[in-house]
A and B are shown apart, each in its own frame.
Chain A
Amino acid sequence: MIPRALFGREQNLANIRRDAFLRGVRAVAPATIATGTWGLVTGVAMVKVGLSTIEAIGMSLLVFAGSAQLAALPLVAADAPVWVILLTATVVNLRFVIFSAGLQPYFRHFPLGRRLILGYLTTDIGFALFLSRFARRPDAERGSPEQVWFFLGMAAGNWVAWQGMSILGILLATQVPGAWGLEFAAIIALIALTVPMINGKPALVGAATAGLVAVAAAGLPLKLGLVVAVVLGILAAMSAELMLERLGARR
């Protein structure tokens, strides 16, 4: 009886994981248009800068960070010192530190190795879709198998779309003319992801603030404006939420 019950429960858990994984894949499917277009643009850019096919594929698989790669490539082309390239990429990546703080309550029960794998798989789109779906759920559900495997399903879809299109871009780089406006297609795909996330007044205030600050600070080196914009946007959204609560309490 006992082994059977145990087996039954494990079977159940396996089903929960598989269903959550597939839900994650489905949730990320529309966003793979954005991921794939960015991947293609990045793949083409790596070869245009002079990386060999193997180097470009290696960079794609290992680094797996479009914005950091795109920021590093002009510096590689200009033969900049390695430490300058790495510092630039670190600054461009600073927003991921904020993301890792947002994801920490969901993955805190895992050992170090798995946390690093989850970190490697964290992308802008993956983080955005995950937290906008689960941030309002009760704290007790945080890190449940459903949530973790949903994240993994999303990450897998994202990873395959990115690597597939990036490698396609690497192989076809010499045949892609610059005049196609591919970069802008990637921007439009990001817009289509952003708009539905602005749900409610605090989010609207936060996003508007982040956009304004990012535009005003676009001249800052190393994409520092991006980090400043995210921090001020979050603060603005929190303030707006607090003010709305007070207004509501007064009524």
Chain B
Amino acid sequence: MSDLTIWIVIVGLTAVTLVTRSLFLVLGDRFPLPERVQHGLRYAPACALMALVAPELFVTQGAIDVSFGNPRLIAGIAAAATILVTRSMIAAMVIGMAAFTLLRLVA
């Protein structure tokens, strides 16, 4: 890909990202959402983050893998348990990465 094309891609990505991120901020006055929908959007944060994370833990090379042989899943559960108990981001990172590294060495 030429340098010019790469810059076109960069400017294009900037534009589509700005449009999607601002769409309702800009058009929301003209197309107001029903109160019910607006209210339901309070659940969007937890849903969006969970939807980002879950496939990374449960899917290995295109196949669902729920087993002790899946280091990502086990390390992810360990990290989730750590944050539940300690509420500490650092502790969750340390425990999660330690579990991940150990399990990969064993496997």
Let me know if A229 and B45 touch, CB within 8 A.
no
* Minimum distance in angstroms from A128 CB to a CB of chain B: 3
Which residues of A come within 8 Å of B, CB atoms?
A: 30-31, 33, 50-52, 55, 58-59, 62-65, 67-69, 72, 76, 79, 82, 85-86, 89-90, 93-105, 107-108, 112, 115-116, 118-120, 122, 124, 127-129, 131-132, 135-136, 181, 184-185, 187-198, 202-203, 206-215, 218-219, 225-226, 229-230, 233-235, 237-238
The 10 closest A-B pairs by CB, nearest first: A119-B22, A233-B47, A128-B45, A211-B54, A135-B42, A104-B28, A229-B51, A237-B43, A188-B96, A210-B47
* Minimum distance in angstroms from B107 CB to a CB of chain A: 13
Let me know if B83 and A215 touch, CB within 8 A.
no
- Hey, what's the 0/1 contact readout for B1-36 against A, CB within 8 Å counting as 1? 101011111111110111011111110110001001
Considering the complex, give the chain A residue whose CB is closest to the CB of B94: A188
Let me know if B18 and A119 touch, CB within 8 A.
yes
Let me know if B13 and A187 touch, CB within 8 A.
no
Q: Which of A76, A105, A129, A197 contacts B38 (CB 8 A)?
A: A105
- Kindly name the residue among A68, A184, A215 whose own CB sees the greatest number of chain B CB atoms within 10 A: A184
Number of residues from B at the complex interface, CB < 8 A: 68
- The 28 sampled A-B contact pairs (Cβ below 8 Å) are A82-B5, A89-B16, A98-B41, A98-B48, A100-B23, A100-B24, A115-B22, A115-B25, A120-B18, A127-B48, A129-B45, A131-B45, A184-B97, A187-B53, A187-B72, A188-B93, A189-B89, A192-B83, A192-B93, A195-B80, A197-B46, A214-B51, A229-B47, A229-B50, A229-B54, A233-B46, A233-B47, A237-B40
| B44 contacts chain A at the CB level, 8 A cutoff | yes
Q: Interface SS of chain B: helix, strand, loop or mixed?
A: helix
- Hey, what's the 0/1 contact readout for B57-99 against A, CB within 8 Å counting as 1? 1110010100000001001100110011001011011001100
Q: Give Cα A62–Cα B12 distance, bound, in whole angstroms.
A: 10
